[in-house]
Amino acid sequence: MASLQEQLLKAGMVDKKKAKKINQEKRKQVKQAKGTGQVIVDESKEAAKRALAEKAERDRDMNRLRQVEADKKAIQAQIIQLITLNKIDRSKGEIAYQFTDGKKIKKLYIDALLQTQLIKGVIALVKLKDGYELVPAAIAEKVKQRDESAILVHNIKVSNDEVDEDDPYAAYQIPDDLMW
C-alpha cells in the first residue's frame, strides 16, 4: 500500500518539490523531538483513541438500556404466567361486579361466592393484557411486588375498631353487598 504522499504524487495533486519539502520538515520535527526528549503526539491517533472511548461509552449505555428493557419484559412475562396459572374460573357468573380501570368503569360477571371472597379480600381482581382475571390473594401479592398497576381490586382486611370521634356517620354500617 502506497503512502498518502505517493498517492498524491501519482494523482498529480502535489509536485515532487513540495513532497520533498514536507519530508524535510517532518524529519526536522522528529530530530528536534528526539533531541529534547519530547514525545511527538500524533493527533490522528489521539482522535482515534477518543473516538473509540466515546463509542465504548455509547455501547455501554445502549447495553444498559437493553438490559432494562429485557428486565421489564421478564417481569411482564412473570406476571402473565402467575395470573394464567392461578386464575379462578368465573364462567358461571351471574352477578355483575363493577370496578374502575383507570377512569373507566368496567363490569365483570361473577357468582355470589366469588363476590363475597372478593369483598373480604380472599381473592383479587387483576388486569391481564386486555382482560381481567380473579386470582387468590397470595398470588395478587406476588403480582403487586412486580407491578402494582396490574392489581385493580384487592380489599385488604383493615380493623374496623378504630372509629373517628368526629365522624357523624359512625353509627351507620355500610352493607358488604352495596353495588354502585
| Whole-number pLDDT of residue 140 | 92
Determine the structural domain holding residue 134 and report its residue range: 43-159+172-180
| Whole-number pLDDT of residue 16 | 81
Mean pLDDT of 81-96: 90
C-alpha cell of residue 97: 361486579
- Whether 145 is in a domain gets the answer yes
Mean pLDDT of 92-97: 89
The secondary structure of residue 155, as a DSSP letter, is -
Strand spans (E) along the chain: 95-101, 104-110, 123-128, 131-136, 151-153
> CB-hemisphere CA count at 13 Å for 54?
6
C-alpha cell of residue 141: 401479592
- With beta carbons less than 8 A apart as the criterion, state whether 110 and 97 touch: yes
| Whole-number pLDDT of residue 40 | 57
Spatial distance between the Cα atoms of 15 and 155, rounded to a whole number of angstroms: 89
| Whole-number pLDDT of residue 128 | 86
Place of cell 383507570: 102
| Whole-number pLDDT of residue 159 | 52
- Single out the residue of 110, 98, 112 nearest to residue 134, CA to CA: 110
Taking the model in full, what pTM does it have? 0.56
pLDDT, averaged across the chain: 84
Spatial distance between the Cα atoms of 111 and 93, rounded to a whole number of angstroms: 4
- Whether 34 is in a domain gets the answer no
Place of cell 518539490: 17
Residue pLDDT, tens place only, 29-38:
877 777 665 5
| Whole-number pLDDT of residue 41 | 64
Residue pLDDT, tens place only, 100-154:
988 999 999 999 999 999 999 999 999 988 889 999 999 999 999 998 888 988 8
- Whether 149 is in a domain gets the answer yes
| Whole-number pLDDT of residue 157 | 67
- Whether 65 is in a domain gets the answer yes
- The total of structural domains in the chain comes to 1
- Whether 52 is in a domain gets the answer yes
The region, left, alpha or beta by phi > 0 then psi within -120 to 50, assigned to residue 37 is left
| Whole-number pLDDT of residue 70 | 95
- Single out the residue of 143, 96, 145 nearest to residue 124, CA to CA: 143
| Whole-number pLDDT of residue 90 | 87
CA 162, 166, 167, 172 torsion-angle sign: positive
Spatial distance between the Cα atoms of 157 and 122, rounded to a whole number of angstroms: 9
- Whether 60 is in a domain gets the answer yes
Spatial distance between the Cα atoms of 121 and 110, rounded to a whole number of angstroms: 15
Give the pLDDT band of residue 65 (cuts 50, 70, 90).
very high
- Whether 18 is in a domain gets the answer no
- Whether 31 is in a domain gets the answer no
